Amino acid sequence: MTDATPIRLLLADDHPVVRAGLRAVLETEPGLVVMAEAATAEEAVARAAEGDIDVVLMDLQFGRGMGGAAATARITARPGAPRVLIVTTYDSDADTLPAIEAGATGYLLKDAPPEDLAAAVRTAAAGRTTLAPSVADRLMNRLRTPGTALTRRETEVLALVAEGLSNQAIGDRLHVTEGTVKSHLARIYAKLDVDSRTAAVAAATGLGLIRR
């Protein structure tokens, strides 16, 4: 891609006002062209496969159906796939880790300044990574203190605890045994230095490990 070649964008978000806001910001930037919009993750996957998109701006939470992380994995799995830049309101480990593991090139929050959004799009189109400062800080902390970092599964378990589910209900949701859930909780308690479900949820929320 040369400087003269426009960067072609797909906006994937279930809120029309958000898509309109993104379009308004991005279309004022030289070299950026909004090719299409998608109101569902499924639409985004299908549209991204048409071959004329360079960067997908992807929300994480859609009203129903597929989520943004799953859509990112589908999109990036194809040869010659466009880059995916997550643009969302969520910055907990429960949100960021699945998206990054799914192949997202960047992760930005919706309250980012317009110039940061445009810069992130250009960075993503070039195959480089842009992370919101809060996301970058937490990823660095995970690398510095791997012994205290929760695994993706532990994060899932704790998020369900925060929703008020019992161990058996969590096991049913994740298709594991109740004993496996208890083992995950024991490791979570040890890592967070707590001794109860309530304390674990409070600690993880304070650390940004699960969504507030």
Query: Using one digit for the tens of pLDDT, what is the confidence trace for 195-208?
Result: 999 999 998 888 77
* pTM of the entire predicted model: 0.73
pLDDT mean over 133-137:
84
Residue 12's DSSP bridge partners are 38, 58
Domains delineated in the chain = 7-140 (3.40.50.2300), 146-206 (1.10.10.10)
| Per-residue pLDDT band at 146 (split at 50, 70, 90) | low
* Structure confidence at residue 2 (pLDDT): 47
* Structure confidence at residue 52 (pLDDT): 95
- 8 Å CB contact between 200 and 161: yes
Q: pLDDT at residue 120 above 80?
A: yes
**What is the Cα Rg of the chain in Å?**
19
* Structure confidence at residue 149 (pLDDT): 76
Q: How far apart are CA 61 and CA 40, in angstroms?
A: 10
> Which of 5, 30, 9 has the alpha carbon at shortest distance from 82?
9
Instruction: Taking the CA atoms of 160, 166, 167 and 169 in sequence, report the sign of the dihedral they define.
Output: negative
The conformation of residue 195, written as its DSSP 8-state character, comes to: S
Q: What are 150-169's pLDDT values in tens digits?
A: 888 898 899 999 999 999 99
Q: What are 21-70's pLDDT values in tens digits?
A: 999 999 999 999 999 999 999 999 999 999 999 999 999 999 888 999 99
